[in-house]
Amino acid sequence: MGQQKVLSRLQQPVAQTTAHRKSTSSSQQSAEQGIFQKLGNRRRQRQLKGQEETETSEAPTPRQMFEAAHDLYQGGEYQQALDAFNAFVAAHGNHNGIATYNIAQCYYNLGRRDLAIEQFQKCLAEGMAASEYAEEIKKKIADMESEQKPNFERGQQAFQKKDYKTALRYYMRALEAGMARRSAALFNIAQCNRLLKRYDNALLFYQEALDAGIGEYETEVMGRIEEMRVHLGMKPEISGEVTPLSQDDISHLFYKGDAEMKLGHYEKALALFTELHDRVGKSKKPGVSYFNMAQCNRLLSRFAVALYLYEQAIKSNVGEYERETQDRIFEMRKRLGVA
């Protein structure tokens, strides 16, 4: 089978095949048989079987939910398809990784390589490793991971030359392409921001690296986090815990950050929103916290960092700002020339 044909197949959502049905237990088969079907003219198939569906005001069946998501994908509405497949999984499960595979394909077509890799790996663990798609999925993961290598190496070269702005740009591209060791890219991005004296972004990415599992660099990262807090004038930690903020303190930081933004003082606003994220953002409305930091970075023309933060906002549930966030992601990708 040629490479082009493999890539073409991987750009389609999965419909359950006979091979998939045989790989499931009888109980799973009875539950799933009415949900998935091969790609093709589904409407005509139903007509031939005398199963034409009629309009109904009742809640959609699992089959209807899956087909609606599939149709959105086929129409190129990848974000809406992603939301629909996620809703399907929440209501009816992943069905041996098939729905998770489709989620991965949505992320791939949205250009979110790191999330696509994560979901492809997840679908293999959920059952797709025993399917006819296993080798194609593994190749897809390998191809995406290889995309980031040239960018990461260019970042290393620029860093050695102390050209931290160029290094940052390449590390951000490597992160966007997806990395086997995501924490390494996050750590290097933090280092560049620190050396550029962008302490707010440095603090954020050191924390992201720590959360991603930085291994042998954990002690250094924790030290850098405290260093960035000092630079930003934040209160020190007490016994390893961030000094808690009262509700009044939280409101004060937010409204002060909002006021600085309206005045066009984006650096000051970013520092305030970063402190708010550092203290409470990861436990209370992290999506909104990421969104506010993304807005500041966008207005400071730091588009690569803004793109990352907008994507984290979507992933963390940004609520009423979801549509605007999606529009900003599209805008950032266009500015950066990212497919």
- pLDDT by residue (tens digit) across 85-136? 998 988 888 888 888 899 999 988 887 777 888 889 899 998 888 888 899 8
Q: Is the pLDDT of residue 287 over 90?
A: no
Per-residue model confidence as pLDDT tens digits over 310-325: 988 888 888 888 889 9
Looking at the chain, the whole-number percentage of residues with pLDDT higher than 90 is 20
- Please choose, from the candidates 5, 57, 66, the residue with its C-alpha nearest in 3D space to the C-alpha of residue 31: 66
The whole-number pLDDT of residue 31 equals 29
Q: What is the CATH number of the domain that holds 331?
A: 1.25.40.10
Within a domain: 71:
yes
Per-residue model confidence as pLDDT tens digits over 128-146: 888 888 998 998 888 877 7
Within a domain: 100:
yes
Q: What is the mean pLDDT of residues 139-158?
A: 82
Helices 164-177 and 113-125, axial angle in degrees (round to 10): 30
The whole-number pLDDT of residue 220 equals 92
- Please choose, from the candidates 164, 124, 165, 163, the residue with its C-alpha nearest in 3D space to the C-alpha of residue 141: 124
CB 80 within 8 A of CB 72: yes
Looking at the chain, the whole-number percentage of residues with pLDDT higher than 70 is 76
| CA dist list (Å): 244 to 240, 241, 268 | 12, 8, 21
The whole-number pLDDT of residue 241 equals 52
Q: Which residue, 73, 107, 132, sits at the end of a domain? A: 132
The whole-number pLDDT of residue 161 equals 94
Q: What is the CATH number of the domain that holds 59?
A: 1.25.40
The whole-number pLDDT of residue 56 equals 45
Within a domain: 269:
yes
Within a domain: 251:
yes
Q: Which residue, 132, 159, 193, sits at the end of a domain? A: 132
The whole-number pLDDT of residue 14 equals 53
Structurally, the chain folds into a number of domains equal to 2
| CA dist list (Å): 189 to 168, 176, 257, 304 | 6, 12, 24, 11
User: pTM for this structure?
Assistant: 0.54
Within a domain: 93:
yes
- Per-residue pLDDT band at 243 (split at 50, 70, 90): low
- Per-residue pLDDT band at 249 (split at 50, 70, 90): confident
Per-residue model confidence as pLDDT tens digits over 166-222: 999 889 888 876 665 788 889 999 999 999 999 989 988 998 898 888 888 899 999
Within a domain: 152:
no
The whole-number pLDDT of residue 281 equals 58
Within a domain: 229:
no
Higher pLDDT, 148 or 333: 333
Within a domain: 289:
yes
The whole-chain average pLDDT of the chain stands at 77
Q: Which residue, 132, 167, 191, sits at the end of a domain? A: 132
Structure tokens at 78: 């990848």
Place of tokens 């199963």: 51
d(CA 24, CA 8): 26
The whole-number pLDDT of residue 279 equals 75
The whole-number pLDDT of residue 151 equals 84
Which domain does 294 fall in, by range?
A: 244-339
